[in-house]
Amino acid sequence: MRILLVGAGGVGNAIAKIAARRSFFDSMVVTDYDLGRAQETVAWIERRHGADVAARFSADRIDASDPASVAAVARKHRATHVMNAVEPRFVPAVFAGALQAGADYLDMAMSLSEPHPERPHELPGVKLGDAQFDAAADWEAAGRLALVGMGVEPGLSDVFARYAQDHLFSRIDELGTRDGANLVVRDDDGNELFAPSFSIWTTIEECLNPPVVWEADRGWYTTAPFSEPEVFRFPEGIGEVECVNVEHEEVLLMPRWLSAKRVTFKYGLGEEFISVLKTLHRLSLDSTTPIRVRSAAGPVEVAPRDVVAAALPDPATLGPRMTGKTCAGVWVTGTGPDGEPREVYLYHVADNEETMREYDSQCVVWQTALNPVVALELLAGGVWEGSGVRGPESFDAAPFLDLMSRSEADGGYGQPWGLEER
């Protein structure tokens, strides 16, 4: 397996660091528009693991907005798999470039949505991933696999949902992805900062778009942003967090392969975060349409959302200032194999102190990065295989969870997952 990693930002950097401990692949080329950033990731691996490990890694420049560039770099390095670790707006280009190069493809976020032009809070318009599923026949015909939504959410959450269907329930009423954390970021004086732990560009896209819900007797429909607030209790000391509906890929993926009466995604944002997002929207600072701005160098055109992203700290740099844990999981209700009502929460927790100590990566980006590496290892070993455009829940979940949770001494990743009966 020869992996082309597209993007050396927070998540891409963590993917390479996690992969450096594994032996299932022959080479990984870390690429970025900023070649220096890709080179620094490779340099970190050499400093931490030595020249022998780093010999499997190299750096190159790529333009993720151009399918031809992606295809050319993939061919140059004879990539068998293209791992997309850039923002979702670049998905169409990387997705198309991988197919042009004859490589398999993985991503952690899918092609972007477009709200319904007339009834955005009732009906979906273009849904997340629609553009990729529209190309499924092309991938089937080429005998290539595009594994989409293979991060933590979506990704591990979908794996949990498949495991619940196969092993824990005879009938599922609701598959509810629930994400929460008790993370705090502080400045040098100990004051708490507003500093999103993930790309603000992506966060704005997720949180201000109309959330999607799926119901068996209704199909996909949308609501207003931040709808249906609920207090959800997260494990391992995180505690109760208010969660709200947010647009997310799980709701678009799970119903394609799993059977449930209802599928939802709710995110623990917090009152301050929601207030900031609403203000950005009110001021049109969430817009991706460039506006003309006067500057000392003369008029320039810039998208307001890019200005917001540039003004906030890079999430990849927050680790040393961050404390706490983040939890990703799926709350499942329905009927157990014994015919009795059952309610469980399947989850994985990442502690920032541990991920910083072991990988020099903050826990949110590290937790996202872990799962595509596990998936790549299953693909390399032929445990997962197939063609077309497929989500994580289309594969057997048990081998994934076994490999993830087994100790490193026993060939696993040493990341146990939890199952809490409720």
Torsions phi, psi for 173 (to 5 deg):
-85, -50
Q: How confident is the model at residue 212 (pLDDT cuts 50, 70, 90)?
A: very high
Nearest partner of 85 among 175, 13, 187, 189, judged by Cα: 13
CA trace torsion 318, 320, 322, 324 (10° rounding): 130
Instruction: Provide the pairing of β-strand 2-6 with 27-32.
Output: parallel
CATH 3.30.360.10 domain range(s) in the chain: 156-359
Question: Mutual orientation of helices 200-208 and 304-311 as an angle, nearest 10°?
Answer: 130
DSSP H helical ranges for 50-135: 51-54, 67-76, 91-100, 130-133
Cβ atoms of 141 and 310 within 8 Å: the answer is no
> For domain 2-151+364-416, which CATH number applies: 3.30.365.10, 3.90.1110.10, 3.40.50.720, 3.40.50.10320?
3.40.50.720
CATH number of the 156-359 domain:
3.30.360.10
Portion of the chain with pLDDT greater than 70, in percent: 100
Is residue 369 predicted with pLDDT exceeding 80? Answer: yes
Tell me the pLDDT tens digit for each residue of 295-313. Answer: 777 888 888 888 888 888 7
CA distance 383 to 376: 10
Both tokens of residue 331? 């709350």
CA distance 375 to 383: 9
Give the model's pLDDT for residue 340.
97
CA distance 200 to 313: 10
Single-letter amino acid, residue 247: E
Is residue 247 predicted with pLDDT exceeding 90? Answer: yes
Mean pLDDT (whole number) for 228-244: 95
DSSP H helical ranges for 261-362: 271-282, 304-311, 352-359
Q: How confident is the model at residue 237 (pLDDT cuts 50, 70, 90)?
A: very high
For the entire predicted model, the pTM comes to 0.93
Is residue 38 predicted with pLDDT exceeding 90? Answer: yes
CA distance 264 to 215: 9
Portion of the chain with pLDDT greater than 90, in percent: 82
* Helices and strands in the chain: count of H runs, count of E runs: 15, 20
Residues 6+ apart with CB under 8 A from 2: 25, 26, 27, 28, 29, 77, 78, 79, 80, 81
Tell me the pLDDT tens digit for each residue of 152-201. Answer: 999 999 999 999 999 999 999 999 999 999 998 888 888 877 777 767 77
CATH 3.40.50.720 domain range(s) in the chain: 2-151+364-416
Mean pLDDT (whole number) for 276-297: 85
Q: Given 3-state DSSP classes, what are the helix, strand and coil percentages for the chain, each rounded to the nearest 5?
A: 40, 25, 35
Give the model's pLDDT for residue 187.
82
Alpha-carbon distance values, 110 to 56, 59, 167, 390 (Å): 29, 25, 28, 11
Cβ atoms of 345 and 238 within 8 Å: the answer is no
Give the model's pLDDT for residue 129.
97
Give the model's pLDDT for residue 314.
78
Is residue 338 predicted with pLDDT exceeding 90? Answer: yes
Cβ atoms of 363 and 6 within 8 Å: the answer is no
CA distance 262 to 333: 10
Tell me the pLDDT tens digit for each residue of 81-113. Answer: 999 999 999 999 999 999 999 999 999 999 999
Both tokens of residue 185? 């970021």
Tell me the pLDDT tens digit for each residue of 14-30. Answer: 999 999 999 999 999 99
DSSP H helical ranges for 263-302: 271-282
Tell me the pLDDT tens digit for each residue of 106-156. Answer: 999 999 999 999 999 999 999 999 999 999 999 999 999 999 999 999 999
Give the model's pLDDT for residue 29.
98
Single-letter amino acid, residue 262: R
Q: Name the 3-class secondary structure at 79.
A: coil
Q: Name the 3-class secondary structure at 271.
A: helix
Q: How confident is the model at residue 285 (pLDDT cuts 50, 70, 90)?
A: confident
Mean pLDDT (whole number) for 349-365: 95
Q: What is the DSSP letter of 155?
A: B
Nearest partner of 185 among 245, 305, 270, 285, judged by Cα: 270
The separation between the first and the last C-alpha atoms of the chain, rounded to the nearest angstrom, is 42
CA distance 321 to 304: 27
Across the chain, mean pLDDT equals 94
Both tokens of residue 227? 């709808």
Nearest partner of 352 among 387, 314, 324, judged by Cα: 324
Mean pLDDT (whole number) for 57-77: 98
